Amino acid sequence: MKNLKYKKDKQEFVTELRAEINNYFKNKGIEKHGGIEIILKTILMTLVYFVPYGLMLSGIIDSPGLVLICWVVMGLGMSGIGLVTMHDANHGSFSEHRWVNHLFGDSLYLLGGFPPNWRYQHNTLHHGYTNVEGHDEDIAHGGILRFSPHKPLKKVHKYQFIYAWFFYGLMTFSWVTVKDFKQLRNYEKEGATLNSSGNYQTLYTKLVIAKILYYTTFIVLPLLFVPLAWYWILTGFLLMHFTGGLVLTTIFQTAHVVPTSDYPLPDDNNELNNNWAVHQLYTTSDFAPGSRIFSWLIGGLNYQVVHHLFPNISHVHYRNLAKIVKKTAEKHQLPYHVNKTFPGAVYQHALMLKSLGRRKNMQPMQTDIPGINKNKLVTI
């Protein structure tokens, strides 16, 4: 991975785009971080997550049906914190202050995840090598899911467009059980630097303590204080994670595992065929640009193209920046992929899962998949 390189061509696009984005903020007289809007969002999502929790522990809500509904609402709050707060903070765009970003980035602990792992997987691997086989862990799921045309094709993959959604719901549950431990061990073997000291013993200690505190908060305390049988508590806990996992995974996968996305491989010189910025245009897609409320609720991550080009800018600005990126990309005859609606994006993702489950060689993919009409991919 360290030797993988991007070409340095089309730098004029990068130079012009950066200048246009910087001029936007200069002319508007605004900062690139989230400001008051992201603080208000964080308060809202935190309330959605913890108010149902408090209602259960206090005994105000004590019937099985209402308790399970509380857990589902907590799953929505959990995904909201992840999309709105944790994501921006771990990219350094929540606040102008580094310590504030670190503090709110650690909100991932509340979701059962481990921030050092997430930052390396997401910021370094996913953003650095989007859709590159062997580097981007977001498409590295082995066995029952095939997200890359360069993965081995198995018979079971033929039906992944049907069963994948169930496994999406297990994503955050995987965090709180085995994934973080496996990731940390793998990163240690790779020699990845996850903290300033590079001390993995400290990381393992923090991970164990974090898991103990998480299980104590979300399983032990409900078992002690919610006046229901243990199986209702465990069922609710699983429902929370299934809800959160399904929301989070669907949001992210519909931006990259779609028919318009490329899956480039390096050449004999271990070089990819575009510069990094252009690579993002070919491997990423926006969706639902007209849905302001939806965009507000999911942390602007329907504008994934802008986010991948400018991860250090808060999502509260993406709607306006998308117009600049689109205009500049068109000027340089580069793609800007957009699906009109979120259901439409989910449908495109399902089509891609179906194609990935039935064909070994899918390059080029963008012109030969049934049900895809590139003329219907709308612009902003």
What is the per-residue pLDDT for 300?
95
Check residue 7 and give its pLDDT: 83
Instruction: Flag whether 361 is in a domain.
Output: yes
Give the span between the Cα atoms of 219 and 230, in whole angstroms.
9
**pLDDT, mean over the chain:** 91
Q: pLDDT tens digits for 57-102?
A: 999 999 999 999 999 999 999 999 999 999 999 999 999 999 999 9
Residue 151: C-alpha distances to residues 56, 129, 154, 259, 307 (Å)? 45, 16, 9, 16, 27
Q: Is residue 282 part of a domain?
A: yes
Structural domain boundaries enclosing 291: 5-31+255-376
Does 116 score more than 80 pLDDT?
Answer: yes
**17-28 residue pLDDT tens:** 999 999 999 999
Number of domain units in the chain:
1
* pLDDT at position 270: 87
Q: Are 203 and 210 in contact (CB under 8 A)?
A: no
Question: Is residue 60 included in any domain, yes or no?
Answer: no
Residue 47 is predicted with a pLDDT of: 98
Q: Is residue 45 part of a domain?
A: no
- Residue 188 placed within a domain: no
Q: Residue 380 burial (CB < 10 Å; 0-12/13-18/19+)? A: middle
Q: What is the pTM of this model?
A: 0.90
Question: pLDDT at position 141, please?
Answer: 77
**Residue 96 forms part of a structural domain:** no
pLDDT of residue 361: 62
Read off the pLDDT of residues 215-239 as tens digits, 9 standing for 90 and up.
Answer: 999 999 999 999 999 999 999 999 9
Residue 242 lies in a domain: no
User: pLDDT tens digit string along 281-326?
Assistant: 999 999 999 999 999 999 999 999 999 999 999 999 999 999 999 9
Residue 321 falls within a domain, yes or no? yes
The yes-or-no verdict on residue 137 having pLDDT over 70 is yes
Amino acid at residue number 77: G
